[in-house]
Structure 1
Amino acid sequence: MSDAVRLTQVRKTYGKGSGAVTALDGVSIRFQRGTFTAVMGPSGSGKSTFLHCAAGLDRPTEGSVELDGTELTQLGEKKLTTLRRDRIGFIFQAFNLLPALTVAQNITLPLRLAGRRPDRALVDQVVRGVGLAQRLGHRPAQLSGGQQQRVAIARALVTRPAVIFADEPTGALDTRTAREVLGLLRQSVTEAGQTIVMVTHDPVAASFADRVVFLADGRFVGELAQPTADTVAERMTNLGAWAGVA
C-alpha cells in the first residue's frame, strides 16, 4: 500500500535565537492510502503545527513533506494553493460554511472555485452518504451543528481528495452527534478508500481510527493499532505524566 502523506525529518521552529521555540522536532511518519489515523498528544505537544505542515498550510523550517507523490516544500504559493484545493479536504471544529449559500452550493463550492463542473452522480452519492438529501436547499443557519458538520464532510469528500485532514471535527458536537459524524468518516475510509488524518483530544473519537499516533514535545513517541477508547485513554494518561516530567 502506498503512502498518501509522508513527513521526513520535519522541524518547525518559531522565532530566532534565545527566544526560538521548536514546535516539531525531527518528525518522520507515513500515512498509507485508505487508512484512518488519529493524532493525539498533550496540550502544546505540536499537534496543530504538525497538521498545518502536513497539509501545506505552513512550511517546515527543515525536512520534507510529500503528499500524493508531490513534494510540498518545493512548491511556490500558487501551486501549493492549487494542490490544497484539488488534492486535500479539510474538516475543522468550526464548520466554516458560507452562510449565504445553500447546502448544495456549500458542498460544490471547491469544485466551482477550481472551475470544475460538479460530477452530479458523485455529488448525489456523497449527499446520500451523509444524509443530507432533504436539506440541499437549506442554509447553514437552518441546520443543527451535526448537520452543518455533515455538510463540511460532504464538501471535503466531493473533490475526491488524496487525503482529508480533520482538526477536532467533533469538538463542537454533543456525544451522540459526534459518534454519527465519526461513523461517517469511518465509512468513507472503509467503503470509499478515503485517507483521513484526524487531530483529536478525545479517546472515543480516536477509537474510530485504524491507529493512533502520539505526539509529545514535538516528537512522535508511540502508536496504537486497532485502538479502543480505554487503551487510548490509558496511553494518554501515561503520556501526560511522562511529558510533564520530561
Structure 2
Amino acid sequence: MGDNNVVRLDSVSKSYGRLVAIDDLSIGFARGTFTAVMGPSGSGKSTFLHCAAGLDRPTSGRVVLDGVEVDALDEKARTVLRRERVGFVFQAFNLLPALTVVENVALPLRLAGRAPRREEVMAALERVGLADRARHRPAELSGGQQQRVAIARALIARPAVVFGDEPTGALDTRTALEVLALLRAVVDRDGGTAVMVTHDPVAAAHADRVVFLADGRIAGELAAPTAAAVAERMTHLGAWERVR
C-alpha cells in the first residue's frame, strides 16, 4: 500500500467483549482522494471510522495516520494528533450553542493553544459561504448552515484528513449537495483527503471510490461510482449478509 496513504489500517480488529465489530481489516486512503464507506446496519462502519481517526484503539492491528503510528501514542498524544491532523464532520453538527459561528470555527485553534487570527477564521467562513453569519449563534442558522460551519471548523487547522460520519444524514437533498461539494473541494482544490461514512448512494456517488463493509470486513470496492451502481451493490450486500 504505497507511501501516499494518509491513513492506513493494517490487519485492524476491534472487539467489544464477544462482539467483533471489525475483523482483520486492511485498507489505505491516499492523499488527494475522497472515499465513501458504506455497508448494512451493524457492518462496522462507525467502529472503522473511530479506529481510523484515532478516536478508539483497535484490539489488534495497526493504524498509521499521516505517518504516525496512532496505537503507539498515549491518550494525550493521540488527542494532540487528532487536533492537528484530523477534521471531523458529524451528522449532528456538534457545534457549541453558546458560542458564535466565529467562536465555533476558531475553537480547534484555541484548544491547540493558538491564538486564532481573525482573517484565517473569516477566510474559512468565506469558503463555506457564511462570512455574513459570523456573529450568529448556531440556533439562528438552518441545519445546512450549521453543517457548513462544522466544515469550516474541521478545515481551520488544515488537517491531513477529514472524516465525515453521515455528514448529510440530517439534511435535505439540495443542502446535502452543497455540503458534498464542499467536501469535494477539500480534495480537488486543496489536495486533501476525505473519508465519509454514509448510507446514501447519491452522497457516495460524489466520492472517487466506495468501500463496502459487511460483518466487519471489506466486501468490495467501486471506483468512479454512480448512485445506481452503489444502490445495486448495497442491495446485494444486504442479501449476501442475510444468506450468511
TM-score of Structure 1 vs Structure 2, range by shorter chain = over 0.9
One-letter amino acid of the structure 2 residue matched with residue 190 of structure 1? D
Structure 1: which 5+ runs fail to align?
none
User: 1:197: how far off?
Assistant: 0.5
2:39 maps to what in 1? 41
1:202 maps to what in 2? 200
The 4+ residue runs of structure 1 with deviation greater than 6 A are none
One-letter amino acid of the structure 2 residue matched with residue 139 of structure 1? R
2:8 maps to what in 1? 6
- Once the two structures are superposed, residues 15-49 of structure 1 have per-residue CA deviations (whole angstroms, 9 ceiling, x without a partner) of 1xxxx111111000000011100000000000010
Q: Distance in 2 between matches of 1:123 and 1:3?
A: 29
1:145 maps to what in 2? 143
1:147-226, aligned counterparts within 5 Å? 147-226=145-224
2:51 maps to what in 1? 53
Match of 1:124 among 122, 125, 128: 122
1:107 maps to what in 2? 105
| Contact 2:102–2:122 (Cα < 8 Å) also in 1 | no
Structure 2: which 5+ runs fail to align?
none
Q: Distance in 2 between matches of 1:125 and 1:219?
A: 40
- Once the two structures are superposed, residues 90-132 of structure 1 have per-residue CA deviations (whole angstroms, 9 ceiling, x without a partner) of 1000011111111000001000111113244443332111001
One-letter amino acid of the structure 1 residue matched with residue 92 of structure 2? A
Q: Distance in 2 between matches of 1:227 and 1:162?
A: 24
Q: TM-score, normalised by structure 1?
A: 0.96
Q: Distance in 2 between matches of 1:175 and 1:161?
A: 27
One-letter amino acid of the structure 2 residue matched with residue 235 of structure 1? R
Q: Distance in 2 between matches of 1:132 and 1:173?
A: 17
Q: TM-score, normalised by structure 2?
A: 0.97
One-letter amino acid of the structure 1 residue matched with residue 127 of structure 2? G
Q: Give secondary structure in 2 for the equivalent of 1:241.
A: helix
Indicate whether 1:27 and 2:25 are aligned: yes
Q: Give secondary structure in 2 for the equivalent of 1:149.
A: helix
Q: Distance in 1 between matches of 2:155 and 2:220?
A: 29
User: 1:14: how far off?
Assistant: 1.1
Pairs aligned (count): 242
Query: Percent sequence identity over matched residues?
Result: 70
Q: Distance in 1 between matches of 2:9 and 2:160?
A: 15
1:70 maps to what in 2? 68
Q: Give secondary structure in 1 for the equivalent of 2:189.
A: helix
Q: Give secondary structure in 1 for the equivalent of 2:63.
A: strand
1:230 maps to what in 2? 228
Worse-superposed segment, 117-126 or 93-102? 117-126
One-letter amino acid of the structure 2 residue matched with residue 4 of structure 1? V
One-letter amino acid of the structure 1 residue matched with residue 61 of structure 2? G
One-letter amino acid of the structure 1 residue matched with residue 71 of structure 2? T
